[in-house]
């Protein structure tokens, strides 16, 4: 459709350990710094 933004590509890399979680109702604007595994259910 006209004016509709394309859906962002989802990149998933398997990891055994998640150290940082961004929940589904969380929106982050700016830098995200972490170590280890990161799971994003919210918006960056």
A 10 A CB-CB count for 31 gives 5
Q: How many domains are there within the chain?
A: 1
In a domain, 3, yes or no: no
In a domain, 17, yes or no: yes
8: confidence class by pLDDT, cuts 50, 70, 90: confident
Per-residue pLDDT at 17: 78
**pLDDT surpassing 60 at residue 1:** no
Q: Which residues contact 44 (CB under 8 A, 6 or more apart)?
A: 22, 28, 32
Query: Over the stretch 9-42, which tens digit does the pLDDT of each residue have?
Result: 777 766 677 777 788 888 889 988 888 888 888 8
Q: Which residues contact 1 (CB under 8 A, 6 or more apart)?
A: none
In a domain, 30, yes or no: yes
In a domain, 2, yes or no: no
* pTM for this predicted structure: 0.47
Domain coverage including residue 36 = 8-44
């Amino acid at each position: 459709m006209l004016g509709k933004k394309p859906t962002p590509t989802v990149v998933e890399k398997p990891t055994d350990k998640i150290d940082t979680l961004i929940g589904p109702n969380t929106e982050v604007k700016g830098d995200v710094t972490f170590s280890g595994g990161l799971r994003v259910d919210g918006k960056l």
